[in-house]
């Protein structure tokens, strides 16, 4: 009989331990120190338990961003249009032409993060999530401050916050150096940026609310299409002649358009830019991809528009 109290104590402790284990099993898991929770460009809350280690990029801009913030080794798949940096060209290709991605291939790569961009549709995001994948949608920034914020987001998602911060510091210094020189400019040349001149009578160009217009203006120029009614618009040859740009930049040089072929277009010989040999090829990837190379574009534009300042 003297052993009974001891048995009761042991029994009570056993019941308490079982109750504690059951309560722990029913409680939601505690947040870990490495967990990441961010709101993406679609307004969705996206959670990662740890920084992403296997990433599929759906766009060239996202690929460039990931490599720029130091997460290149974590990228396991890229879209078919990715061509920069060099290391990215050896990664698995997951489609993307005409918006058609190989979802099975993406899933087979077992990514813990798929990074989408504004050219991707909400339906594509939903299809990827339907495969059990985590998707983060990076919306295009509106300005350079938005670019810096986007790079910080990529740094957080991948565990490279310090690298992203260092990159932003470098980009800010480079932008400041250009703006300091451009402040000396007294005359701002007028610029026509050609996106597609396959119809010389009405070539495509960039109008308001585009990075192209913003960068031309920051670089000390004036986009002659900045006051048109659409961001991506065709301008008639007659209107082009009236506005008569000082400089023509060929964003379609990648497709074989040359200053010589522009000079051969009927009527274009009357443009000041053609007469003065100011028709210049330009790498459109720099301005069409919202990533860190936008600052490369700014530097190159400033040198093209004001070569005397950068000699």
DSSP-assigned letters across all residues of the chain: -TTHHHHHHHHHHHHHHHHHHHHHHHSPPPPPTT-EEEE-TTS-EEEESS--SSEEESSHHHHHHHHHTT-GGGEEEE-TT---SGGGGGSEE-B-GGG-B-HHHHHHT--SEEEEETTS-HHHHHHHHTTT--EEEEPPPSSHHHHHHHHHHHHHHHT-HHHHHHHHHHHHHHHHHHHHHHTT-S---EEEEEEE-SSTTS-EEE-SSSHHHHHHHHTT-EETTTTSSSSEEE--HHHHHHH--SEEEEGGGGGT--HHHHHTSTTGGGSHHHHTT-EEE--THHHHS-STHHHHHHHHHHHHH-GGG--
Q: What is the tens place of the pLDDT at every residue in 293-305?
A: 999 999 999 999 9
Over 50: is that where the pLDDT of 139 sits? yes
Q: What is the tens place of the pLDDT at every residue in 167-199?
A: 999 999 999 999 999 998 989 999 999 999 999
Give the residue-averaged pLDDT of 4-22. 42
Both structure tokens of 110 = 């077992």
pLDDT at residue number 33: 66
Nearest Cα neighbor of 305 from 226, 215, 227, 173 is 215
Domain ranges of the chain: 36-174, 186-309
- Assign a CATH topology to domain 186-309: Rossmann fold (3.40.50)
| pTM, entire model | 0.87
Is residue 202 within 8 Å of residue 189, measured between CB atoms? no
Question: Percent of the chain beyond pLDDT 90?
Answer: 86
Over 60: is that where the pLDDT of 131 sits? yes
CATH superfamily of domain region 36-174:
Nitrogenase molybdenum iron protein domain (3.40.50.1980)
Q: Do domains 36-174 and 186-309 have the same CATH topology?
A: yes
Q: What is the tens place of the pLDDT at every residue in 64-97?
A: 999 999 999 999 999 999 999 999 999 999 999 8
């Amino acid at each position: 009989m003297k052993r009974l109290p001891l048995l009761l104590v042991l029994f009570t402790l056993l019941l308490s331990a079982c109750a504690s284990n059951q309560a722990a099993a029913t409680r939601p898991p505690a947040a870990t120190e490495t967990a990441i929770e961010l709101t993406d460009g679609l307004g969705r809350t996206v959670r990662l338990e740890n920084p992403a280690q296997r990433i599929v990029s759906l766009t060239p801009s996202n690929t460039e961003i990931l490599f720029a913030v130091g997460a290149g080794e974590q990228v396991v798949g890229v879209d078919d249009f990715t061509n920069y940096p060099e290391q990215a060209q050896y990664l698995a290709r997951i489609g993307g032409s005409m918006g058609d991605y190989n979802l099975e291939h993406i899933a087979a790569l077992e990514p813990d993060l798929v990074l989408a961009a504004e050219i991707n549709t909400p339906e594509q995001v939903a299809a990827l999530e339907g495969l059990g994948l985590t998707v983060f949608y990076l919306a295009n920034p509106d300005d350079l401050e938005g670019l810096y914020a986007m790079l910080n987001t990529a740094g957080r998602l991948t565990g490279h916050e310090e690298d992203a911060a260092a990159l932003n510091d470098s980009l800010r210094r480079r932008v400041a150096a250009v703006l300091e020189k451009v402040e000396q400019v007294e005359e701002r040349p007028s610029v026509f940026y050609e996106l597609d001149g396959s119809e010389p009578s009405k070539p495509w160009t960039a109008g308001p609310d585009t990075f192209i217009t913003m960068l031309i203006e920051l670089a000390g120029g004036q986009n002659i299409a900045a006051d048109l009614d659409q961001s991506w618009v065709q301008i008639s040859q007659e209107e082009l002649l009236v506005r008569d740009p000082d400089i023509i930049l060929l964003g379609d040089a990648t497709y074989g358009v040359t200053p010589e072929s522009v000079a051969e277009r009927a009527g274009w010989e009357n443009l000041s830019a053609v007469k003065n040999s100011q028709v210049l090829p330009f790498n459109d990837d720099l301005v069409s991809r919202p990533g860190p190379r936008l600052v490369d574009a700014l530097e190159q534009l400033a040198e093209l528009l004001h070569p005397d300042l950068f000699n």
